[in-house]
Structure 1
Amino acid sequence: MAEYTPKERLARALTGQPVDRMPAVSVTQTGTVGQMEACGAFWPEANYDAEKMATLAEAGHTVIGFEAVRVPFDITAEAEFFGCEIKDGTQEQQPSVIGHVVSSMEDIENLKGYDLSNGRINVVCDAIKILADKYGDELPIMGSMIGPFSLAQHINGDEWFMAIMTNEEFGLALMEFTTEFNVAYAKKMVENGADTMVIIDPTASAQLIGNEFYEKFVVPYHKKICDAMHELNVPVVLHVCGDTTLGLSLMETCGVDGISVDQNVDAATAVGNVKNAVIVGNLDPVNMLWNQTTEAIKEQSQKVLDAGIGLLAPGCGIVSKTPTENLQAMVEMAKSHKY
């Protein structure tokens, strides 16, 4: 079988085509303190400066060995873009959303007419352009964004879960708004050089809201993003937190190419619960990648590989203090695996 570039290999793996071996990637956030120290680009500045963001993303490749570069490192830029209050992150912690801006239909209307050339949204796109100019011919350039359901929660607050059950008109209107934004943002990332799209929608879980609400408030909106990306020949990976085992078959009906599952999901069961989507995961980022030895990581990686996982990767965002050698152990196992 022919050898492929990392860019070709990941694209083929995500679209069900034969490859020479498994790509070594992380579809979730990649930044660590070790990489920051090695490349000189640190959080929180690397969340706000395009050059530093690109430099830290590049370290995932040059320091760890990931065969892709990925930005950003957190899921708050979208909420900040719409005016939500953000708690600043640190060198070891990511920023978080602490204030909300939407409680009515009027509030939704007031957010329309936004300009994607503003704020951290634009910083992320600029970082993608920097990375694409340097690596776009060889490496996959991953763009990532929070998904429309979790963005709706960020801008509406904890009332969101009650809203979808008691105020359908408002809930659907907010989902239409956030999805329209997601599609526009994703297209801008692709215009700047992204060739793979990752949707991080942590609270969009059928286990959390039930299949009926998932089918109404999540599937059609994820499908709109997938359809828009597929028109541009860009594969899409979806990550939802928690035990998504029972919802996997429903999740893939949106047309997503890959589904990233976390450590609470049994890998073999996940593989058996989908028809077309590639299952990505699912090494525990805390109890395994951060806190175990390289030998233990290789042993667990082999178990996940034996279960038939499509792409070996962390089960969620990498913990910032994860040792470099631990991530390199996972990368080594992925690179040595032939399907």
Structure 2
Amino acid sequence: MTEYTPKERLYRALRKQPVDRMPAVCFTQTATVEQMEACGAYWPEAHEDAEKMATLAEAGHTVIGLEAVRVPFDITAEAELFGCGIKAGDLKQQPSVIKHVVKNLEDLEKIKDYNLNEGRIGKILEAVKILSEKYGKELPILGSMIGPFSLAQHLNGDAWFGNLFTGEEVVPALLDFCADFNVAYAKAMVENGMDTLAIIDPTASYELIGGEFYEKYALPYQKRIVDAMKELNVATVLHICGNTTNGLAIMDKTGVNGISVDQRVDIATAIGNVENAIIIGNLDPVAVLWNGTPEEVEVAAKKVLDAGVGLLSPGCGIVSMTPTANLQKMVECTINHKY
């Protein structure tokens, strides 16, 4: 069989085309402290400086061996663009949203005039371009963004779930706004060289909102992003935290190429619950990758691979204190796996 470049291999794998072997990629957060020490680009500066962001993303490839480069490392830059208060995070902790800005339709109108080149969103776009210019011919350039449901929750705050259940008019309006923003942001990433998009939508979990609400308040808005990317021949991967087993069939309706599943999902069951997307995951990022040994990583990886996973990857974002040796073992297991 033809030996493909990493870019060709992932392109084909996400579209269920024959490949020479499994790509070694991670669609969730990739940075670790050991990578920061190796490349000289550290959090929190690497969240805000395009050059440092690109350098740390590159370390996932040069230090760990991942066959792709991915930015950013958190899911708060979008909320920050619209004025939400952000706790900056530190060397080990990612930024988090601590203040929200949309209580009603009037508040929503105030944030509609935004500029994608401002703030950290602009820096992320710069980092995508830097990585694309350096690696775009050989490696996949992965862009990541928070999904529309979770972005709406970031903007609306603690009232979000209550507003869903009572059918407040701000809910569909805010979801429309977020989905349109996601599409514009994704297109800007593509213009800067992104070829694969990871949509991270943690609060759209089946465990939190159930199938009926997912189908009404998450599916149409996620699908809007996927459809826009299909027009540009950009593959999409959807990651939602928690045990999404019972919601996988609905998630599959988004049309994404891949669904990244949490470590609590049984891989064999997940594969049986979808018709179109490949299943990605789901090594435990805490018990196995952070707190385990390389030998334990190998055992866990074999179990996931033997279950028939489409792509081996962490079940959620990599913990910043994860040892390099464990991540390298994950990559090694992926590359050596025989279909």
Normalising by the smaller structure, the TM-score range is over 0.9
Rounded to whole Å, the distance in 2 between the matches of 1:254 and 1:239 is: 12
Shift of 1:49: 0.1
CA contact (8 A) 2:197 2:235 kept: yes
Q: Secondary structure at the match of 1:17?
A: coil
Retained in 1: the 8 A contact 2:125–2:188? yes
Contact 2:199 2:237 in 1 (8 A): yes
Q: Match of 2:243, SS?
A: coil
How far apart in 2 are the matches of 1:328 and 1:226?
31
Whether 1:45 aligns to 2:48 is: no
Q: Secondary structure at the match of 1:292?
A: coil
- 1:52-201 counterparts in 2 under 5 A? 52-201=52-201
Q: Kindly indicate whether the alpha-carbon contact (under 8 Å) linking 1:74 and 1:95 is maintained by their aligned counterparts in 2.
A: yes
Deviates more, 1:45-54 or 1:208-217: 208-217
Deviates more, 1:314-323 or 1:198-207: 198-207
Supply the AA of the counterpart residue of 1:325.
Answer: A
Do 1:20 and 1:338's aligned partners in 2 also have CA atoms closer than 8 Å? no
- Taking only the aligned residue pairs, the percentage that are identical comes to 69
Q: In structure 1, how many angstroms separate the alpha carbons of the residues matched to 2:314 and 2:13?
A: 17
- Unpaired runs of 5+ in structure 1? none
Q: 1 CA distance for matches of 2:27 and 2:167?
A: 34
Paired position in structure 1 for 2:233: 233
Aligned partner of residue 208 in structure 2, secondary structure = helix
The CA distance in 2 between the partners of 1:255 and 1:74, in whole Å, is: 24
Task: Give the partner amino acid of 2:193.
Answer: G
Q: TM-score, normalised by structure 2?
A: 0.99
Q: Which TM-score applies when normalising by structure 1?
A: 0.99
* Residues 282 and 315 in structure 2, CA contact (< 8 A), matched pair in contact too: yes
Structure 1 residue 198: deviation in Å? 0.3
2:18 and 2:9 mapped to 1: Cα distance?
9
Moved over 2 A (4+): none
Deviation at 1:292, TM superposition (A): 0.6
CA distance in 1, matches of 2:125, 2:37: 24
CA-CA distance at 1:276 after TM superposition: 1.1
Letter in 2 for 1:306: D
Q: Distance in 2 between matches of 1:77 and 1:148?
A: 13
Q: Once superposed, what is the RMSD of the aligned Cα atoms?
A: 0.7
Deviations 1:28-79 (A, max 9, x none): 0100000000000000000000000000000000000000000000000000
Who is 2:219 aligned against?
A: 219
Query: 1:158: how far off?
Result: 1.5
Query: Shift of the alpha carbon at 1:338?
Result: 2.6
Deviations 1:116-174, CA, capped at 9 Å, x for gaps? 11010010000000000000000000000000000000010021011111134221111
Matched to 1:118, the amino acid is: E
Alpha-carbon distance in structure 2 between the residues aligned to 1:306 and 1:315: 16
Superposition pairs of residues 255-270 of structure 1, within 5 angstroms: 255-270=255-270
Total equivalences in the alignment: 339
Which amino acid letter does the alignment assign opposite residue 329 of structure 2?
A
SS at match of 1:203: helix
Rounded to whole Å, the distance in 2 between the matches of 1:90 and 1:301 is 30
- Separation in 1, partners of 2:39, 2:266: 36
Q: What residue in structure 2 maps to residue 208 of structure 1? A: 208
CA distance in 2, matches of 1:139, 1:168: 44
